[in-house]
Structure formats: C-alpha cells, structure tokens
Structure 1
Amino acid sequence: MKFEKILSDSLESCYSVARLQHGDEDFLLVASEVEQSCFAYNLNNELERTTVWNEVGGTMSIIQIPGSLDFLATQKFYPGFDAKECQIVQGTYQGNGSWKISKVADFPYLHRFDLIQEKSGRILFVGCTIANSKAFVEDWSDKGKIVVGEFDYQESNLFNLKELALRLLKNHGYYEVKEEGYSLITGVEGILKLTYPEYSDSGDWRLDLIFNEETSDIVQVDLDGDGQKENIIIQGFHGDRLRVFNQDFSQEIFHHPEATPFGHAIWSGNLLGEDVFVFGWRSGKADLMLYRYQDQTVEPVMVEADSASSNCLAFEKDGRAYIFSANNGRHHVALYELMK
C-alpha cells in the first residue's frame, strides 16, 4: 500500500478542508487560517480550481448544509486564538464552482460546529467555542461553551440557541456519529458524548462524560472488525500522544511509539472495504500517516513525510481512494491517491 500525490497547490497557512457533494456536483474545499483564500477543486473536471473567497480566512470549519451544495463556515478566527471577531458565513452555490458568501451571525471564539438533520427535516446546530473571552493568547480563565440550537436554511439564520451548563477548558476536538445520534466533544475535562434530542430519553440534548483524561481530538472506527468501534485519540492540547482504546476506554490497544508533537489532523472511515484512520502532526517529523489493522496489530503506512498537516479527509470516488490534506506548516494543499 502506498500513496501518490496527484494535486500539489500553494495556500498560505491552509487549515480547514471539506468535501461538498450533491447531485452530480463534487468539490473539495480548503481554506486558510490567516487572511487568505478559500479554494474549491472540481472532482468532476480534472481538479479545476476556483476561488471561493479572497483575503478573509481565519476558517476553522466548513460544514455542508444537508441536501445542498451550500455550506456554513467560520471566518476571522485568526492564529493565536485571536477570535473575538469570529463569524459564521453561508456559501450559496451559484454554479460553475462559485459560491455567494453572506454573513449569518457573529460567533466569537467558535472553533468547531456542526449541522445535524433530524428525520423530521429540522436542522440542528452544535457550536463549540475554544474560550468565551481572552485577555491574551494563553488566557484560558474564561472557559468555552457548547451552544445548541437550530438552523433555518431558508432564512439563513440560527435560532433557539442555548448554552449547555457544562463549560470546557481548551475545547478542540469534535466528532459526529449522526447515524447513531451523538457527537463527541473534547477538552481538558476529557471526552463528552452529546446525544441529540430525538435519540435522548428526555427528548432534549444530553451530555455525558465518557472519558476523564485531557483529550485534544477523537475519531472512532471498527479497526479489527469485531463490531465494536475503537476510540482513536490525540492527548494533550495539540498534544504529542496518539492512542487507540477499545470501545469503553478500558484497554489501550495501540499507541504511537514516538511522540507526535502538535498532533492535529485526524480522520477515520472505510476505504476500499477496509476500516482505517489517518493521523498527522505538525511539529518534529510532521508526518501524515494512514493506520490499518493487520496481523493483530495496528500498522502505520506513510502518506507523506514532513507534511505538517492541520486537517485531512479521505474519500472514495469511482472505485478509487484519496486523502485530501491541508499541509499547514508547508503552506501546501495536497491530494493523494491510494495505490494498492
């Protein structure tokens, strides 16, 4: 198993990635965390590049609006967590790889957010702020919030917003399992399971602590094929420890043998019939790697050494598998094809 780079492009401090797919249209988006651009690459037209916006950036998340090629994204969340001017914008697809950008709401310090479509068609909103206010970069005294509510697609606005009681120190990670009715949110306090209203016994949002060690990011996947998902976590805020636990965190299955400083890029899922995860770190060797379960152990496969990825995603198209990565530390956008 090896990877071949089929796209190499330049974007200063590229950070956030997304795939937008609806009907016959299919795009990869990447946006910068500084005052730079957001690019779209057309997967149906030889990766033709268009510019979604210029010289705004500060984009931590890009989330597709269900049932459309439109999206919501954050802007003006700039490095050093200088994010009091952070806002949510909507990209409305205009055709030919272009989107009209309009402001939805001011949302200071919003780092991760999501849209969840219920069976009724209602679109729920989950937003996680990295802090509530800051006097200086390393001021963590005012903890971040988890805000839930609804999104009205037709009116392009958020409503019925409320803050959950628990506030999180250094919230960073967010992972959704929409088909099972929950999301996982991480911080110094550990890993919290947020159950959506229609899956909760109370009919309201439910928040449960499921792991009480500081965690930066988490994904889940059934690596060994036993029907139970493993938990893959980065420990320490932007931490240097990659660990794999069983379903209930009672047993560590694997840890990366070396420190992985500034651990950041993480994705999990099925590629060509195999459950895998991808992980990249931004300091030291700064490698991007795919991990698979082989011969009763977790086996790493190099995607690219010294890539310094901030975020990545993997996907299949036309029977082939790819990894799309914002190689932040190299100011480099890359698409890799899996060659089996």
Structure 2
Amino acid sequence: MKIEKKFLTDLHRCYATSSTVIDGDRKILIATEGEGPCFMYEGEDFKQSTVWDGPGGTMSIIPIPGKNGDFLAVQKFFPTFQSEDAEIVWGRYENGKWEIKTLFKLPYLHRFDILEANGKLYFLGAVLCNSKQFKEDWSDPGKIYVGEIPEDLNKPIELKVIKEGLTKNHGYCRAYHNGKMVGLVTSQEGVFRVTPPESDDEEWAIEKIMDRPTSDVAVVDIDEDGEDELVTIEEFHGKHFRINKKYGDEYKIIYEYPKEMDFGHVVWGGKLRGVPTIIGGYRRCDKDLFYIQCTDKEKLEFETVVIESGVGPSNVAVLNEDDKDIIISANRELGQAALYIVTD
C-alpha cells in the first residue's frame, strides 16, 4: 500500500473534513474552526473554490441524502469553546455558486449527523455542554437533540431533547446495528448508541454500550470476524487510543497506541484498498497521523504505521474510489489542508 501526500492549502485552524456529490462528481469540503472560509476541491486536479468566506467556526459538514450536493454544517463554534452562538446552516449549490442559509441556532453544537429511518431523515445533534462561564466550566452538561428533517428545508426543524447529563459531550460516529443506521455519542459518562424510530409511534432508543469516559469513537470490524470493534480516544482530548473488542456483554481493550500521545482527536474506521483499517491522530507530542491494520486475526496482532508526524490532525474523512482511496486530513496544528492518496 502506497501513500502519497498532496498539499491543498494553508488554512489557519483547519478542522472540518467532508465530501459531497454534485451532478455525479465528488467534491471535497474543508473548513476552519476559526474565523474564515470553507473550501471545495473538485476534479482530478483538485481545483479549489470557495464555499463561504466566513464566519467560520465549522465543526462538522454532513451531506443531505437525496439532494444534489446539499449539506448541513455547523458554524460559529469558535475556539476555545466560544460557541454559545453555534448554528446549523444549509448549503445548496445553485448556478455554479453556493447559497448558505442559517436554519437554526443550537448553542455549543459540536457534532451532528443525518440519520435515515422509516423513510425519513432525522437530525441528531450532540451539544458539548449546555452553557459555560469560563473555558473549564463543565458544570452544565451537554444534551442530545433530535428532529425530523423536512423535504423542504425552508420549513422549520422541530427539535427535542432525548438525553441530558452528558459531560464533555464531544465525539460522534455513525454506525449500523441490527441492520439499522444509528449514532454513537461519547462523553465522560461513556458511549451511547442512539437509534431513530422505525415507525411514527416509536420513540428514539438510547443505550449505553461502554462505561468509560470517552472523547471520540469509531467502529470497524478490524479482525473481520463479523462483529465491529469500538475504537476510542479516552478520556476527553485524551492520551489513550484503544481498540475494544466485545466479549459477551463487555468491551475489552485489545490494543493501545504505543507512543506517548496527548490531545487525541482523530479516529476513523473503514477500509483502505479493501483492507479493514483504523486511522488515528493527535494534536500534541509528536502530532502523528497514523493507521492501524490487523496482521494476525487469530492472535489479534496489529501493525501501526505513521503516515506523517508533526501535523496535529483534527479530523479526517475518507473517499474510497476504484483505483485509489483519498484521506482528507485537516492538519490543524500545521494550519494545513492535505490529501493522502492511497494506492495499491
């Protein structure tokens, strides 16, 4: 497996990574968490254009299923937790340019997703906290908000709280459980699986699946035994990067990143060139971007490879294509957006 880096642009506090599809063509999206722009990259030469110049404060960008490139995104979640004005915006590509409309304000909204169930689209939003008096004030814990997304996004989305009391409600990952699309939400209280209703008379289901304080999470069947492992960064912006395998009703640690790390922030699970792979990264110490693959599925032995040191990534997204895979990396501590092209 060969990995080649492609520099995209300098971008202060580069943070959010995503992609969407317009008229059948993939578009890469990268935005800053500071005050500043979101950029789009398209074509085989990754031509850059501007989605917005500001305000910035972008944590997440999620494409809307069934639309032609439309997405929802967080704006105004500024460092360091200056995010009482955080809001969701709707991006729509019309006549060769992006139109951005604010849909609603949701203070301290850090991660969100769009889940599909019962023929409907649902918004799931995880707010880091409910309020703050100062940076390290965690006395007012976060919540999970949900709401049905209408076909016409000019109509309001009615939100309700389905879970409270989530301290440092920071991480999120989409997953599948029993054939259903679910969301995994992380906090000091553990990892929670959130399942949308399958019918109009059902309620959202919430189940704690891990009891350890967790900052971020991903899922992947790393040993290909048919059951997903949980990959976690523990605790908040933590020093521990772990693979957890389920034995009975309990997850047990089967791997821990061997180097000293701090401010863990990237965790992704999926496939690179068809091989189950975990991508991780951290923003202090050596600031590595790395990947992990299982080399012995019986003995559960793993190979860890540093893709690049000194970059301090905040988030990655991955595009799997026929002849290559593309790791989209927000190398925050370098103030840099980059791609890592993976080929056989």
Tell me the TM-score range normalised by the shorter chain.
over 0.9
**Which structure 2 residue ranges, 5 or more long, are not aligned?**
none
Contact 2:92 2:100 in 1 (8 A): yes
* 1:337 has 2:341 as partner: yes
Find the counterpart in structure 1 of residue 180 from structure 2. 180
- Given that residues 117 and 197 in structure 2 are in contact (C-alpha distance below 8 angstroms), is that contact kept between their aligned partners in structure 1? no
Matching residue within 126, 130, 133 for 2:131: 133
- 1:147-226 to 2 correspondence within 5 Å? 147-178=145-176, 180-198=180-198, 203-226=202-225
Aligned residues: 336
Report the TM-score, using the length of structure 2 for normalisation.
Answer: 0.93
Are the counterparts in 2 of residues 149 and 160 from structure 1 also a CA contact under 8 Å?
yes
* RMSD of aligned Cα (Å): 1.7
Aligned 8 A contact 2:272 2:342 in 1:
no
Deviation at 1:19, TM superposition (A): 1.0
Shift of 1:249: 4.0
Q: CA deviation at 1:266?
A: 1.5
Does the aligned pair in 2 maintain the 1:8–1:334 contact within 8 Å? yes
Give the aligned partner of residue 235 of structure 1: 234
Offset, 1:167 = 2.2
- Letter of the aligned partner of 1:288 in structure 2? L
The AA in structure 2 aligned to 1:131 is C
Instruction: Quote the Cα distance in structure 2 between the aligned partners of 1:199 and 1:47.
Output: 42
Asked whether the equivalents of residues 117 and 196 of structure 2 are also in contact (C-alpha less than 8 Å), the reply is: no
1:322 matched residue in structure 2: 326
- AA of the residue aligned to 1:79: P
Partner of 1:92: 92
Aligned-partner SS, 1:242: strand
Partners of 1:165 and 1:180 in 2: how far apart? 20
CA distance 1:24–1:155, shift in 2 (3 Å): closer
Measured against aligned partners, the alpha-carbon deviations of 1:143-172 in whole angstroms (never above 9, x if no partner) come to 111111111241334433211243200011
Structure 2 counterpart of 1:269, one-letter code: G
Partner of 1:302: 306
Tell me the TM-score normalised to structure 1 length.
Answer: 0.94
Tell whether the 8 Å contact from 1:70 to 1:92 is kept in structure 2 after alignment: yes
Contact 1:2 1:303 in 2 (8 A): no
Instruction: Output the CA distance in 2 between the equivalents of 1:144 and 1:173.
Output: 12
Q: Deviation of residue 2 (structure 1)?
A: 3.6
Distance 1:172 1:199, change over 3 A: farther
Matched residues in 1 for 2:284 and 2:95: separation? 39
Which SS does the other structure have where 2:333 is aligned? helix
State the alpha-carbon separation in 2 of the partners of residues 158 and 277 from structure 1. 38
Quick check: 1:40 aligned with 2:44?
A: no
Moved over 6 A (4+): none
Aligned residue type for 2:121? I
Structure 1 residues 274, 231: CA separation in 2 closer, same or farther (over 3 Å shift)? same
Deviation string 1:306-334 (CA, Å, 9 cap, x unpaired) is: 11100001222232112110000100000
Cα displacement string for residues 143-202 of structure 1 (whole angstroms, at most 9, x for unaligned residues): 1111111112413344332112432000111111255332110000011111111189x8
Partner of 1:9: 9
Q: Is the Cα contact below 8 Å between 2:273 and 2:325 reproduced in 1?
A: yes
For 2:159, what is the secondary structure of its paired residue? strand
User: Structure 1 stretch 307-316 or stretch 87-96: which is displaced more?
Assistant: 87-96
Q: Aligned to 1:164, what secondary structure does the other structure show?
A: strand
Change beyond 3 A, Cα 1:258–1:249? farther
How many Å separate the matches in 2 of 1:112 and 1:145? Answer: 11
Alignment partner, residue 258 of structure 1? 259
CA contact (8 A) 1:271 1:315 kept: no
Counterparts in 2 of 1:37 and 1:259: CA distance versus 1, 3 Å: same
Distance 1:321 1:29 in 2: 16
Q: Call closer, same or farther: CA 1:95–1:277 in 2, change over 3 Å.
A: farther
Task: Report deviation, 1:7.
Answer: 3.1
Letter in 2 for 1:251: K
Higher mean alpha-carbon deviation, 18-27 vs 79-88, is at 18-27
Aligned amino acid, residue 147 of structure 1:
Y
245-254 or 126-135, which deviates more = 245-254
Output aligned runs, 1:45-84, within 5 Å.
45-68=44-67, 69-84=69-84
Q: Once structures 1 and 2 are overlaid, which stretch shifts more, 325-334 or 314-323?
A: 314-323
- Conserved 8 A contact 2:273-2:342: no
Residue identity in the other structure for 1:318: D
